[in-house]
Amino acid sequence: MNIKLRVINSSNGVNNSEILIFQKNVATNFEETTVAWKVIQNLGQGDYHPFEMPVNFQVSSGDSYGNFTPRKDAENGQRWAMKHTSSGDQLVLDGTSSSPTEVEVVNNLGLGAIDANIFKSGNLLAKKTSIAPQEKAVFEFKPSIFIGVASQVEEGQLINSAVLAANNTELSLLGVKSADIVMTGGGPGRTSTPYTFTMQNVVMF
């Protein structure tokens, strides 16, 4: 199930700003793991950019040897473990997580740290690096997105704290089937106002 969204540029901005979209991992210190999930570029005044926000996600992991596991469909309430098998290190489903709203990735290797990655629509959504043996990463996402204006931010890269603090418009997607996200504000010189993002034409399930 995907939520259909459109970002519409109804702003007065003339500096061709990039629009940053991300989610926060509320199960941990999100500044460590917050990734630029989507960056919209060159969206001219009056233009719109359609995209879909999946409810489901995928999980993958990498080991200290530079190997990466395939992305596997995952859902809240699952516990995944990186284990050493006769064919090498593999990420396998390993029971249930401590909370039904979280997904866990555990390092069950005897030696070497791992990274845990969460993907949506093929784009990196969140990550946790350097998970030591017998430790775990925990991921939990509210049904909402954060959106704002940024510069020099790349999809799949960690968002620094300054950009993170400046992009804190949270839009709830709970029960939303489709909606327009309208960007207003901006403009040149002294008449410039902060960019704002509001949801319009919302269709609920």
Q: Tell me the per-residue pLDDT of 61-114, one tens digit each, with 9 for 90 and over.
A: 999 889 999 999 999 999 999 999 998 899 999 999 999 999 999 999 999 999
Q: 32 or 13: whose pLDDT is higher?
A: 13
Question: Quick check: 38 pLDDT over 90?
Answer: yes
- Using DSSP, state whether 54 is helix, strand or coil: strand
CB 77 within 8 A of CB 96: yes
Q: What is the pLDDT of residue 30?
A: 56
Q: Does residue 31 register a pLDDT over 60?
A: no
Domains assigned to the chain: 2-54+143-204 (2.60.40), 57-139 (no CATH)
For the whole model, what pTM was predicted? Answer: 0.92
Give the CB-side neighbour count of residue 173, counting CA atoms within 13 A.
25
pLDDT above 80: residue 29: no
Strands (E), 56-175: 57-62, 72-74, 78-85, 88-96, 103-107, 114-120, 123-131, 136-139, 144-150, 169-172
184 forms bridges with which residues in the sheet?
196
How does residue 13 score in pLDDT terms, banded at 50, 70 and 90?
confident
Give 191's pLDDT tier (boundaries 50, 70, 90): confident
Instruction: Quote the pLDDT of residue 173.
Output: 97
Lookup: tokens for 82: 């990186």
